[in-house]
Each structure stands twice: as C-alpha cells, then as structure tokens.
Amino acid sequence: MDVKAEVISSLRKHDVGDEFSHLSSFPKASVLIPLFLREGRVHVLLTVRSAELKHNPGEVCFPGGKTDPHDQNEVGTALREALEEVGLPTDEVEVVCRFCPLINKRGLLVTPVVAFISDSFHPSANPGEVSEVFSVPVEFFLKGTNHSAFPVPGTKNFLHSFSYTDPVTGKSHHIWGLTAFLLILLAVLAFEQKPEFEFAFDLKNPTASFQQLVQSWLSKL
C-alpha cells in the first residue's frame, strides 16, 4: 500500500459522520484540510488570511468559513469556501473524512473536512480573503523542535504553536490556536503516532477522545 492509500485508510477510521449532530444548535462553519503528495511525503495546504479581514487578519488557517443556507452539508460548505478562497475546483477534491466539530473563539461550530487534492493544483488566492498560500509536510506537526505550548487560563487545555519557515520562499509563519490543534490531530491520526510533545488524544479510544475534545472546547464558552 502506498503512502496516500495508507493515510486515507488511517484517516477514514476516524470519520465521525453525523455522530455530533446534536450540537447543531450552534452557528456552523467548515474548513477544508487539503492534503497532497509531494516527493512521497504528505503535505497540507494552508492559507494566510488577508490583513483587511475583520476577524483574525494575517493568521494562518485552512480554507473555510460560515455555512451558507444553500450548502447541502458541512462538506459542501468546505468545498465552496475552498473554491472561493483559493480557486480549488470541487470536482478535483477527494473527500476522505470529517473530524469531530469544535467550537472556535467566535462561538462557531467548526467541522474539519479532510481531503486529498492533486499535487499539480496551483492556487489562485482571492485577495479579499487570502494574502498567501503555502504548504507544510504533515509530519512536521509531530515534531517538538519548532513547537511550543502554553496553558489556557482557567482550563486544563494548552494553546499549541508552531514556527515554520518555507524552504522555497524563506518566509516564516506562526501557526497557532485551533489551526495548530487540528494539524497536530491530523498528523496523529494520519500516521497513527504520538507527537514528541504532550497531546491528550487516545489512539486506542478515539471516540472517547473526540467526546472529551468537544467538552473541553465547550468549556471555553
């Protein structure tokens, strides 16, 4: 089995489907976590939010946004947003799974949708929303070298942070918050490995861990 097939097989074990639909009373959003192969390694596509945006300007994130009334479901939201933000055609996306939805700091219920895209895709950033598009090897988010974590006051949670320098452009990126958390989770589930730092997720009982994640994020509200 090749690398892509192995990663897809691992990730699909953790597809939550509609398991957390009971949280539907929250306003919804979705993000697309686009993966692709480059020189035999799995990479993830990330964006930098435009400095002109009202919320979280200049932050590293995934393509995504709030649910539109015309979206069929969470997957439809993620695909529409990726098309709008980076020009990713929906028919060139192989959806793999959905992760457990989490609550962001704006009180939105965010569903992460993981997918594979072609390594030949050339993003076309919408300047009103995205100032830059770059990629990182997924295994980077298992390493402790460029990682730091800080306790969140009043909770048992930690705020994870990474510093990444693009070897092609030389630009440095600060990846933190929910995006960093989801990238660690992605790496853990894709490669079925623990990271080199403390991260509370039990690979032997992922359902229970997902439920704990929901409760921990709800406790921040």
Q: Spell out the alpha helix ranges (H) of 13-157.
A: 74-86
So what's the pLDDT on residue 207?
Answer: 66
Q: What is the CATH number of the domain that holds 16?
A: 3.90.79.10
Rounded to an integer, the average pLDDT of 33-51 is 94
* Owning domain of residue 108: 3-218
Is the torsion defined by CA of 202, 204, 210, 216 positive or negative?
Answer: negative
Q: Are strands 147-151 and 158-165 parallel, antiparallel or unpaired?
A: antiparallel
What distance in Å separates the CA atoms of residue 86 and residue 108, rounded to the nearest whole number?
22
CA distance to 16, 33, 77, 136, 183, per residue, from 112 (Å): 10, 7, 10, 18, 10
What distance in Å separates the CA atoms of residue 189 and residue 186, rounded to the nearest whole number?
5
What distance in Å separates the CA atoms of residue 67 and residue 10, rounded to the nearest whole number?
28
Rounded to an integer, the average pLDDT of 8-28 is 81
**Are the C-beta atoms of residues 63 and 81 closer than 8 Å to each other?**
yes
So what's the pLDDT on residue 64?
Answer: 94
pLDDT tens across 54-102, in order? 776 779 999 999 999 888 889 999 999 999 999 999 999 999 999 988 8
Q: Are strands 28-38 and 109-116 parallel, antiparallel or unpaired?
A: parallel
Number of domains in the chain: 1
pLDDT at 143 over 90: yes
What is the pLDDT of the chain when averaged over all its residues?
88
pLDDT at 183 over 60: yes
So what's the pLDDT on residue 85?
Answer: 96
Rounded to an integer, the average pLDDT of 165-187 is 93
